[in-house]
Amino acid sequence: MLHTAETAEPDDQHYFTRFSRGITQRHADWLRLNEQRQTMRQSWRKFFENYDIMLCPVVQTLAFPHDHDPAITDRTLTVNGKKQPYMDIMVWISLAGASYLPAAVVPVGLSKSGLPIGIQIIAPYLEDRTALKFARHLEELTGGFKIPPGYEN
């Protein structure tokens, strides 16, 4: 059952309960969390003093069939044999998004079943062109996106 921020148990960590808490939080709480974001941004700034980009996964699983049923609040994905809430797919992309960093995704190969595997390229703050330039070079090396077998029109 989906709870709002007011009706959820204190230990309820369901994605939509956390989302509800986030959009209804007091301004003082937002300021405290934003201070943590600024600390993260400083950590990234230090990281990018030594590295041009960060490569990381896009999501924690291979490509999966898109399905609108059940409702998004009840969807799960199986990762390494375990069911996880569907919205956990946001974890890896949150690395860049939470700190206002530009990111791009490029296909780098195919899984055993022929579905594309992507990699996320994260660049320093305001260096969108760095992410895009690296993405272009990586695409040239890997051959870019290829329609998976059986998915052609």
| Domain range annotation of the chain | 15-142
Report the DSSP beta bridge partners of residue 79.
82
Q: What is the pTM of this model?
A: 0.84
- Looking at residue 72, what is its pLDDT? 78
Q: What pLDDT shows up at residue 110?
A: 86
State residue 77's pLDDT score.
86
Beta-carbon neighbour count of residue 89 at 10 Å?
17
pLDDT tens digit sequence for 72-130:
778 888 888 998 888 888 889 998 999 999 999 999 988 888 888 999 999 999 999 99
pLDDT class for 57, splitting at 50, 70, 90?
very high
- Report the residue count for the chain: 153
pLDDT, the chain, mean:
88
| SS (HEC) of 69-120 | CCCHHHCEEEECCEEEEHHHHHHHHHHHHCCCCCEEEEEEEECCCCCEEEEE
Cβ atoms of residues 119 and 56 within 8 Å: yes
**If you ran DSSP here, which 8-state letter would residue 114 be given?**
S
Q: 144 or 103: whose pLDDT is higher?
A: 103
% of the chain beyond a pLDDT of 90: 48
